[in-house]
Amino acid sequence: MGALHAGHLSLANQSKAECDITIVSIFVNPTQFAPDEDLEKYPRDLEKDKKLLSNENVDYVFFPDKDQIYPYNFQTYVNVEEITKTLEGAFRPTHFRGVTTVVNILFNCVMPDFAYFGQKDAQQVAVVKQMVSDLKMPIKIVVCPIIREDDGLAMSSRNIYLSSEEREKALTLHKTLLYGRKFIEEDKEMNPQIVLDNMKVTLGEEKSIKLEYVAIVNACGFREVDLIEEGNEYYILIAARVGKTRLIDNELVRID
């Protein structure tokens, strides 16, 4: 959605390494914002974005306006069912319908062979993968690693909303995820509830953070689990408000 940072550019660079032509779409999608969310103030700097992409030698930038994507009398939406009802879907119930609709439209405009998404929006990636599979789209979804600041904060266009004090508080999210990852990978704790309870204690020590959820889900299928098993991959997910800014982050874990 623009306001590009190194995380976005890493997607473009992976595409360039693997594809003949790389196209980056930039579109602040109104249908994935609820009425009380930050659509109007969402950061936008198209000229800076184009310059960054030019510096990376991206082949094309596709930046349609709202009326091209949603013309007068637009009335068709794409809705993925079960996977959108929990976590982000529970806290933002209209969000994923907007995401899947606009991604479908952009795919139809560009007709890519590969599409590159960041791991930071792990549930969004799972939803898009489900849509692509269900609708038999001939597109391979490639998930790229989270790019972090030097101190561990996951890069996000919304980080500019954070004051210097809030930014320091926000580091608690990643530290808590690493704490949970250690419980699973090093301490071999197989009970997800024990892991989550300990993570919540750590988060509760920072009173300025308002936790929305912390969860452990199967990387394949994105279902919350009752037992962590060897040989499987899991996401530890977190969403919280730091001041007025809503942040999400995750860690991918595996026990071998």
Catalytic site includes residue 174:
no
* H or E element that contains 236: strand 233-242
DSSP 3-state assignment of 234? strand
Q: How far apart (Å, rounded) are the C-alpha atoms in residues 154 and 90?
A: 22
Q: Tokens standing for 231?
A: 């040989």
**Sign of the dihedral through C-alpha 1, 247, 148, 17:** negative
Beta strands at 233-242 and 209-218: parallel, antiparallel or unpaired: antiparallel
Q: Tokens standing for 199?
A: 């993570």
Q: How far apart (Å, rounded) are the C-alpha atoms in residues 112 and 107?
A: 6
Whether residue 247 contacts residue 203, with contact meaning beta carbons closer than 8 Å, is answered with: no
- Kindly name the residue from 5, 8, 95, 174 that is annotated as catalytic: 8
Catalytic residue annotation: 8
